């Protein structure tokens, strides 16, 4: 029987977090970057289990995104992964349905940085590729964050898509490691 657990930040014990990290690292393979797991640890976790086995995971981290002088509360999605031997049976859809419901309920905007192979997965769910410039508000001021490998997507929640013109940069808050 399949269960979906939504765990608020700090609710998961070490064993469950370790299990989720192992799943995510294994699903991402070599594209997993140093801080990718740590970035998601303090978020709301979506866990899909079946018969006590963890099969899929995502986390939604509260961040601030600034655009055209306005600051939006954003649900930044990371650690989206389905166990390798379980992909293609709808579990990615299940974790993202829940991650997006969290964004709709608690944030004005969703955002994520997709790996190449998963970009069509998010696009098919209505996530919009961000085609404008990106910047980050760092301790040293606002810096450009252009990276040819980034595939940033946004999902308007409380905010209308018309307010997200890509002629103005999207600015994320600072964090350790990759900023997007």
Ligand X SMILES: CC(C)(COP(=O)(O)OP(=O)(O)OC[C@H]1O[C@@H](n2cnc3c(N)ncnc32)[C@H](O)[C@@H]1OP(=O)(O)O)[C@@H](O)C(=O)NCCC(=O)NCCS
Looking at beta carbons only, is 38 or 168 nearer to ligand X?
38
- Kindly tell me which of 71 and 82 has the beta carbon lying closer to ligand X: 82
CB of 49 to ligand X, least distance (A): 14
Minimum gap (Å) between residue 130 Cβ and ligand X: 14
CB of 173 to ligand X, least distance (A): 20
Q: Minimum distance between the CB of residue 74 and ligand X, rounded to whole angstroms?
A: 16
Q: Say whether 41 sits in a helix, a strand or coil.
A: helix
> What kind and span of H or E run contains 18?
helix 14-28
Cα→Cα distances 54→47, 83, 86, 109, 140, Å: 7, 8, 10, 28, 40
Q: Name every residue whose Cβ is closer than 8 Å to that of residue 1 and which is 6 or more positions away in sequence.
A: 50, 51
How far is the C-alpha of 130 from the C-alpha of 148, rounded, in Å?
13
What is the rounded radius of gyration, in angstroms, for the C-alpha atoms of the chain? 16
Residue closer to ligand X (CB basis): 62 or 123? 123
Nearer to ligand X, 51 or 167 (CB): 51
Nearest CB to ligand X, comparing residues 46 and 80: 80
User: Minimum CB separation from ligand X for residue 94, in Å?
Assistant: 7
When CB distances to ligand X are compared, the closest residue is 92
- Which spans of this chain sit near ligand X (rule: CB under 6 A)? 27-28, 80-82, 87-93, 114-115, 117-118, 120-121, 124
For residue 166, with 0-12 CB atoms within 10 Å meaning exposed, 13-18 middle and 19 or more buried, which class applies?
middle
Contact 48, 67 (CB under 8 A): no
């Amino acid at each position: 029987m399949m269960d979906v657990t939504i765990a608020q930040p700090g609710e998961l014990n070490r064993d469950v977090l370790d299990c989720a990290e192992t799943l995510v690292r294994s699903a991402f393979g070599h594209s997993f970057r140093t801080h990718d797991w740590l970035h998601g640890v303090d978020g709301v976790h979506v866990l899909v289990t079946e018969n006590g086995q963890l099969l899929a995971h995502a986390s939604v981290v509260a961040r601030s995104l600034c655009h055209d002088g306005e600051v939006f509360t954003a649900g930044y999605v990371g650690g989206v992964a389905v166990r390798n031997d379980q992909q293609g049976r709808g579990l990615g859809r299940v974790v993202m349905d829940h991650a997006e419901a969290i964004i709709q309920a608690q944030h004005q905007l969703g955002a994520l940085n997709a790996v190449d192979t998963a970009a069509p997965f998010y696009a098919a769910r209505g996530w919009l590729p961000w085609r404008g410039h990106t910047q980050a508000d760092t301790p040293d001021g606002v810096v450009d964050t252009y990276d040819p490998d980034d595939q940033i997507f946004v999902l308007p929640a409380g905010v209308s898509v018309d307010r997200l013109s890509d002629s103005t940069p999207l600015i994320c808050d600072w964090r350790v490691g990759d900023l997007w």
